[in-house]
Amino acid sequence: MNVKSSSTNLEPLSFNQFKKEVLQDYKIAIVSRECSILGRREVLTGKAKFGIFGDGKEVPQLAMAKAFKKGDFRSGYYRDQTFMMAIGELTPQQFFAGLYAHANIKADPMSGGRQMGGHFATHSLDENGHFKNLTEQYNSSGDISPTAGQMPRMLGLAYASKLFRKLPGIKNPKFSNNGNEISWGTIGNASTSEGVFFETINAAGVLQVPMIISVWDDAYGISVPAKYQTTKENISEILKGFQRENKAKGYEIFVVKGWDYPNLIDVYNKASKIAREEHVPILIHVKDLTQPQGHSTSGSHERYKNKERLTWEKQNDCVVKMRDWIIEFNLKDEHNNTLTFIDSEEELIKIEKDAKKEVSLAKRNAWNAFLNPIKEEKKLLINILENLSLKSSNKAFILKLKNDLSSIHEPSRKNILATARKVIVYIRNEKLVEKTQLQNWVTNYIKTKQPNYSSHLYSQTDKKVSLSEEILPTYHKNAELVDARIIIKDNFDTLFTKHNNVFIFGEDAGNIGDVNQGLVGLQEKYGKHRISDTGIREATIIGQGIGMALRGLRPIAEIQYLDYLLYGLQILSDDLATLHYRTAGKQKAPLIVRTRGHRLEGIWHSGSPMGAIVHLLRGMNILVPRNMTKAAGFYTTLLECDEPALIVENLNGYRLKEKLPNNFGEFKTPIGVVETIKEGLDITVLSYGSTLKIVEDIVNDLAQVEIDIEIIDAQSLLPFDNNMDVVKSIKKTNRLIIIDEDVPGGASAYLLNEILEKQNAYHYLDSKPVTLTAKDHRAAYGTDGDYFSKPNAEDIFETIYNIMHEVNPTKYKKLY
């Protein structure tokens, strides 16, 4: 039998080497199982909040680890602890540090305490936030909890290998070795019921990418059995139509028992060879697995499994079966000598005892490492409170709070800080040096501890968007006016020449050059891999981009219309927007998502859900250019930065005329900077996108009634107005109206909050700030439907006029 050594990939082993590997694997399985058992106890005793563990899945993960090579990527779910231990990327102490939410990336390298245990990631970035050499390490993309949410990213990780192999021009030894890397996915059997699972399966089959999906099948989804989850109760059976025949495009599908250690190794080695060499997607259905402690610490599986099932699970536990196999194994060598793994069961008992001691010590060390610094912080505060109580007239209250804190033997930082802040209230009227000392302590404590929980939402490198400076477009003296789509196309043309690692893909993006011809002719020039069509599959278009960006490429994922973004919003929100934050700055995916929206007539393509998008996509840049020159400048800016972004191009702007620049690929639109496009004295009008043009169209109408408006283009919603230029305008006009075509309380309410609360503009307002938005419903169809559904020129004119009527009713007579 050929088995991969932990130090040399897939090299044949002697029997003694194989024996050593088997016993080492068994120890890893026992260590992992003991982590699950003790982890559950830690939750039930209150030391940890929640636990979801990989018990029952240990043996197939050992086999998967043997076929996993450096440079490969895992995109899994929250039960893969044994795999991570087997590849050397998770220790028992780190396992418990994650369980305790130790807010230190060195203690919990998976997320620095930001995610609950079971969510695994490796570090793709160095201390400066730049990519490490990913081909020299084992890679795990940062996990997320939403079921099947890992699937779209898995596709992109595999697709990157295809591109690295097909396009020698993008070769980069930091990211790929000729596309030989596999994307390894794991998913529970019940989660294969999710739509994104089937979407990913189909997309991978179409694209023919090196992706191996392991389905851990324990016959349940929490408490719901497979008969309610999957047709025929068998995912590999219903996917047989994807099986390739006669080398035609499709899948290789393997079915194997989850407790069958030697067959698992054979299957994973075969799958690895096929996927790596032939770039074929593979499904491995791992059946007959168990879940010894139930789904999670939130309930017992005895509630929903009958006695027969529970008995079966004990008998077919993969670790128990592996133990039996080790004991029973014997093989005749060429000299007819009997070869065995152990001489007696005592050898296994010793391994088991040693593993339990190791895990127990790791748990204790992890807890002490987590708790001791907090105890020291508690001790320091108690000392401050004792000194304060000696001089305060509220001594009794302070001592009560101090004693309550002292009685907590295993305090949290919440306990400590909450106590200090409550004391502040009692001494608010006192003038004491000790009061100042406590105030300074609280301020410093928040300043030093808050970043442990809030940092790295956005990049902190020298490529973060806030460091990018504006470069204006330049024009020839007699620059012609052209359809704006020409500007976006010519800029993309330049960018594709300038950056050989840029790709764009989406529905109709390739052959016809997108529905608005912003890419027309570029596929013919740069090839079908650089500019490509996709199926109608928004979630995996996003995932395709995330995986590519994780591997050092610069993808632009095109979603045809803004309302179609909702299909991919879960992936954007739960995966892309949180990636840099949830890995505490150790992974990044600077994906650019391109779409178009606003103003097209009809319910489905006219929606402008910017408020929802802004709130769900914190961690991304949300950009809303008013024209194609501004949009083109955003693409240039972003390709020099390392943060993800969504650009919403103005749908009715492609055939409007704009002046043709002569510095394509150079001019850059700044991010987080508003632009004042008309100065005025009477009222500040803030808008963005297509609504802004309507505002511009009524400037003369307002001037005829002696209203002089100042128009500001928001340009980007996240971030918004870093220079606080809007409040500077309001200081001059003393009035504000925000106009957009989102629903009431949507993006306009967000902008109002930014201006009134963050910029403190309320100090300078002489009139109530107003938001003018679309109606609560989607826009009705047709010209009249649009007119009665969204802000129109008359709405905007009259709303501004009515504000001025309130200011000066004599000058501005009531209209109605």
What integer is the mean pLDDT of 448-455?
97
DSSP assignments along 707-721, one per residue: --EEEEE--EEES--
Name the one residue in this structure whose structure tokens are 């982590």: 35
- Both structure tokens of 196: 């994104």
Residue of 129, 133, 154 whose CA lies nearest to 641: 129
Residue of 555, 526, 591 whose CA lies nearest to 169: 526
Residues of the chain with pLDDT > 70, as a percent, come to 98
Strands 675-678 and 709-713: antiparallel
Burial class of residue 538 in the structure, from the number of CB atoms within 10 Å of its CB (0-12 exposed, 13-18 middle, 19+ buried) = buried
Q: What is the pLDDT of residues 324-369, one digit of tens each?
A: 999 999 888 788 888 899 999 999 999 999 999 999 999 999 999 9
In this structure, the chain runs to a length of 816
Per-residue b/e over 774-786, b at no fewer than 16 CB within 10 Å?
beeebbbeeeebb
Helix (H, G, I), strand (E, B) or coil at 282: strand
CA distance 763 to 735: 11
Burial class of residue 117 in the structure, from the number of CB atoms within 10 Å of its CB (0-12 exposed, 13-18 middle, 19+ buried) = buried
The residues facing 531 across adjacent strands are 504
CA distance 365 to 437: 33
Strand order in the sheet with 770-772: 675-678, 709-713, 683-687, 736-739, 770-772
CA distance 109 to 584: 9
**pLDDT reported for residue 431:** 94
Residue of 604, 615, 792 whose CA lies nearest to 720: 615
- Both structure tokens of 255: 């079915």
When pLDDT is cut at 50, 70 and 90, the band that residue 298 belongs to is: confident
Is residue 522 pLDDT above 90, yes or no?
A: yes
Q: What is the CA radius of gyration of the chain?
A: 30
What integer is the mean pLDDT of 443-468?
97
When pLDDT is cut at 50, 70 and 90, the band that residue 297 belongs to is: confident
Residues of the chain with pLDDT > 90, as a percent, come to 92
Q: How many C-beta atoms surround the C-beta of residue 71 within 10 A?
A: 20
When pLDDT is cut at 50, 70 and 90, the band that residue 5 belongs to is: very low
Are 645 and 622 in contact by the 8 Å Cβ rule? The answer is: yes
More confident residue, 335 or 761: 761
CA distance 810 to 601: 39
When pLDDT is cut at 50, 70 and 90, the band that residue 10 belongs to is: low
The residue type found at 287 is K
- Both structure tokens of 222: 């929490």
Q: How many C-beta atoms surround the C-beta of residue 240 within 10 A?
A: 10
Is residue 115 pLDDT above 80, yes or no?
A: yes
CA distance 808 to 556: 51
**pLDDT reported for residue 2:** 41
Average pLDDT taken over every residue of the chain: 95
- Both structure tokens of 503: 């790709």
CA distance 347 to 30: 14
- Both structure tokens of 491: 């800029």
**pLDDT reported for residue 4:** 44
The residues facing 489 across adjacent strands are none
Q: How many C-beta atoms surround the C-beta of residue 262 within 10 A?
A: 14
Helix (H, G, I), strand (E, B) or coil at 698: coil
Helix (H, G, I), strand (E, B) or coil at 185: strand
Residue of 535, 528, 582, 589 whose CA lies nearest to 558: 535
Straight-line distance from the first to the last Cα atom of the chain, in angstroms, rounded to the nearest whole number: 90
Are 610 and 717 in contact by the 8 Å Cβ rule? The answer is: yes
CA distance 103 to 370: 8
Name the one residue in this structure whose structure tokens are 């879960």: 570
Q: What is the pLDDT of residues 687-702, one digit of tens each?
A: 999 999 999 999 999 9
**pLDDT reported for residue 1:** 39
Helix (H, G, I), strand (E, B) or coil at 199: helix
| Alpha helix positions (H), 253-332 | 261-278, 307-315, 318-328
Q: What is the pLDDT of residues 307-326, one digit of tens each?
A: 999 999 999 999 999 999 99
Residue of 366, 370, 359, 357 whose CA lies nearest to 55: 359
Is residue 167 pLDDT above 50, yes or no?
A: yes
Q: Which residues contact 404 (CB under 8 A, 6 or more apart)?
A: 419
What integer is the mean pLDDT of 175-203?
97
Cα→Cα distances 792→596, 705, 785, 795, 797, Å: 20, 18, 11, 5, 9
CA distance 680 to 407: 63
CA distance 374 to 438: 17
Q: What is the pLDDT of residues 594-643, one digit of tens each?
A: 999 876 677 887 778 999 999 999 999 999 999 999 999 999 999 999 99
CA 220, 226, 229, 230 dihedral sign is: positive
Q: Which residues contact 753 (CB under 8 A, 6 or more apart)?
A: none
Is residue 13 pLDDT above 90, yes or no?
A: no
**pLDDT reported for residue 600:** 67
Residue of 616, 540, 506, 549 whose CA lies nearest to 151: 540
When pLDDT is cut at 50, 70 and 90, the band that residue 428 belongs to is: very high
